[in-house]
Amino acid sequence: MPDIIQLLPDSIANQIAAGEVVQRPASAVKELIENSLDAGATSIKLIVKDAGKSMIQVIDNGFGMSETDARMSLERHATSKIRKAEDLFTLRTMGFRGEALASIAAVSHFELKTRQASQELGTQILVEGSEVKMQQPIACEQGTSISVKNLFFNIPARRNFLKSNPIEMRHVIEEFQRLALAYHEIAFSLYHSDELIYELPPAKLSQRIVSLFGKSFQNQLAPCKEETDLLRVTGYVGRPESARKTRGEQFIFVNHRYIRNNYLNHAVTAAFEGLLPEGNFPFYVLFIEIDPRHIDVNVHPTKTEIKFDDERAVYAVVKSAVRQALGIHNLAPVIDFQADINIVDKLQQRPAKDDYFDEQFSNSLKRSNLQNWEKLFDERPADSRLFSNTEPPQTLRFESAMNQDPKIESVPEAAPMFQFQDSYIVRAAKSGLMIIDQQAAHERVLFEKYMARLRSGSGNSQQSLFPQTITLSPSDFALIMEVEHELFALGFRFEVFGKNALLISGVPAGVSASEKELFEGLLEQFKKNQAELQVPLPDKLAMALARRTSVKAGQKLEAEEINAIVSGLFASTKPNFSPEGRPTFFTFETSKIESYFTR
C-alpha cells in the first residue's frame, strides 16, 4: 500500500491557521493592534472600509522592523517573544504565537511598510494569499503600517459567512474598545470609510471610559482597588442604578489582556448581590495584575481564555475588591463594627428561645397567607359560576416548547374574571380555575401584533410634538442602523442627527412611553435577545418591543384591559407560551381543589 501521509504546503497550512486566528475582520484588527502595542507604539490609528471587508489598515509609531525582521514576520511560528518553552510562563506581551501575520497574509492582499528610527529607508512587502509578490526599500515614517485588503478573497466560503456591514463593524468597534481601555495611556483613533469614529488622546482610565461610552458614565464610576501577595485588582465599577439588561460593558483584563471568564464575572456579580434587580448586569472595568507564572495564556488561539493556578483565590480577591468599592462609596449597606463595640451584646439581647426566628417567620407567614386568602375572597366576583363544577374534570397538557401546536381547553363565554395580586388574571374554566400570567400573556399578544407589522412592512406611527434626540455609543449606533428597516416597519420614525445621534420623531401607535425611554429600553432588550436567543432577527426585535411595552407584574388593570389581554391571548396562534417560552397560564383543576376539602 503506498504512503498516504504528506506535509501540507505552507500556503494551505497558513489558511488552516487563519481559520482559528482570523474568524472575521475584527479578529485581524485585534492581532494587528496587539502587534503595534508590542512594538512600543504611543499612537495607533485604525482605518477600516466596508466594516473591514474591503480594507483594514493599522498605522503605528512603534520601533519598526529591519528588512530581515519584516520578511521573517510573515513566516509561520516566527516570533521575537519566545526562545525556550519556559518563556511561555513569563509572557507579558500580547502576541507570541507567531501565527497572526502569516495567517492574515494567507487570506488577503497584504501590504507591510516599516522603518526603524536608525534607518533612512524602510521596507515594503506585498503578499497575496501567502505568495510574496514584491519586496523593496521605501521611504516611510518610523513605525509600521499594515494594510489588509479583500479579506478572504481566496476563500469564498469563509467570506460568505461574514455578516452585514453593521454587524461586522460592531465587532470591530468592540475589539477597538477593549484595546483602548487596556492601554488608556496610548493615543488611539478609528476611522470608518473616511468618517472619524473615535479620537482618543492619552488619558486616565476614567477619562477613557467616558470617551468610549459617553458622558452618562461620568458620575457613575466607583474606583476599585485591592492588593494581596498574589495579585492586584484596580479599575472601576458602575453604580447599581446604572446597571443594564445586557452584559455589554463588562471588561476584565489580566496583565492588560482582555479575557472571557464566567467564573470571575460571577465574582463581580456576587459582590452586587442584593443591589441589582433580577436580570440586570453592572458595568465594570477591572484590571488584574498577577505574576505570569500563575497563569497560562496559551490555551486558546485568540488568547481570550486563560487558566489560573489558584482560581478560587483570584475569585475571592476580585469579589472583595468590588464589595469594598461599593461600601466605601456608600453604594452598598455595610456594618461598621468600630461604630458600636457592643453590637454583639445587642444581638444577644434577643429572646433566648432557640426557636425565636422560626416563630417569627411562622407568624409572618401565617399573617401573609391570611391576608392573601382574605384578599382573594374580598375580590372574588359574585357570580357563583366561578366555583361551579358542572363539567367533568379534564387534564390540560402543556407542550415542552413554545412553538409546538397548543392544546387549549374551552372556556365558558361569559366566564367571570378578576385580577389577583395585580399580577395574575383568574377566570373559570371547564375543569377548574385558569390562572393567567398577565405579563407573559400580553407579551404573546403584542409579539404577534408586531410580527404582523414586520411582515407587512408598514406599521402605524404616532408622531411626537417635540422630537427627542438620543446619543448612542458607536457600537449601539451601528446596531440601530443594522435594523433600521425593521424599526420603521414597527412604527418608529427617526433620522440621523449628527455623529452617533438620532432624532426620534415617532413611535409605534398605541405605545404610551416616552420616545427616548422606549427607544433606549428597546435597544437594551434587543441586545439581550441577541446574546441569549437563537431566533431570526425580526423575532428578536418583536420580542424586545413586546417585552418593553407589555403590562408588568404588579400593574393594576381595568376590566377592559383584562378582557383585551385574555381575548387577544386565545386568539393568538400559540397562546400556551410567551414569545420567550414561558407558560402564559395554568389550570388549577377542580379535582385538586376538592382534595383540600372533606366531603
pLDDT in tens, 351-391: 444 443 344 434 444 444 445 444 444 444 444 333 344 44
Query: Phi-psi region for residue 137, left (φ > 0), alpha (ψ -120 to 50) or beta?
Result: beta
**CATH 3.30.230.10 domain range(s) in the chain:** 213-328
Identify residue 410 by its one-letter amino acid code. Answer: S
Question: Hey, is 466 helix, strand or coil?
Answer: strand
User: Does the global pTM surpass 0.85?
Assistant: no
Q: Examine the pLDDT at 335 and tell me if it is beyond 60.
A: no
Please state the rounded mean pLDDT for residues 518-527: 84
Q: Examine the pLDDT at 402 and tell me if it is beyond 60.
A: no
Q: How far apart are CA 136 and CA 593, in angstroms?
A: 89
pLDDT tens profile 478-504: 888 888 888 988 888 888 888 788 898
Topology of domain 10-202, per CATH? Heat Shock Protein 90 (3.30.565)
**CATH 3.30.565.10 domain range(s) in the chain:** 10-202
Question: Hey, is 435 helix, strand or coil?
Answer: strand
Where does the pLDDT of residue 431 fall: very low under 50, low under 70, confident under 90, or very high at 90 and above? confident
What angle separates helix 205-213 from helix 165-182, to the nearest 10 degrees? 170
Q: Give the CA distances from residue 495 to residues 50, 472, 480, 484, 504, in Å, rounded to whole numbers and listed in that order.
A: 21, 13, 11, 10, 7
Of 82, 37, 99, 64, nearest to 255 by C-alpha is 37
Q: Examine the pLDDT at 104 and tell me if it is beyond 80.
A: yes
Topology of domain 380-599, per CATH? formyl-coa transferase, domain 3 (3.30.1540)
Q: How far apart are CA 566 and CA 547, in angstroms?
A: 17
Q: How far apart are CA 554 and CA 546, in angstroms?
A: 17
Among 193-207, 218-232, 241-255, 556-570, the minimum mean pLDDT is found in 241-255
- Give residue 217's Cα distance to chain centre: 17
Check: CB of residue 153 under 8 Å from CB of residue 107: yes
Residue corresponding to grid cell 381543589: 593
Stated length of the chain: 599
Q: Right CATH number for 213-328 from 3.40.30.10, 3.30.230.10, 3.40.50.300, 3.50.50.60?
A: 3.30.230.10
What is residue 497's predicted lDDT score, i.e. its pLDDT?
Answer: 85
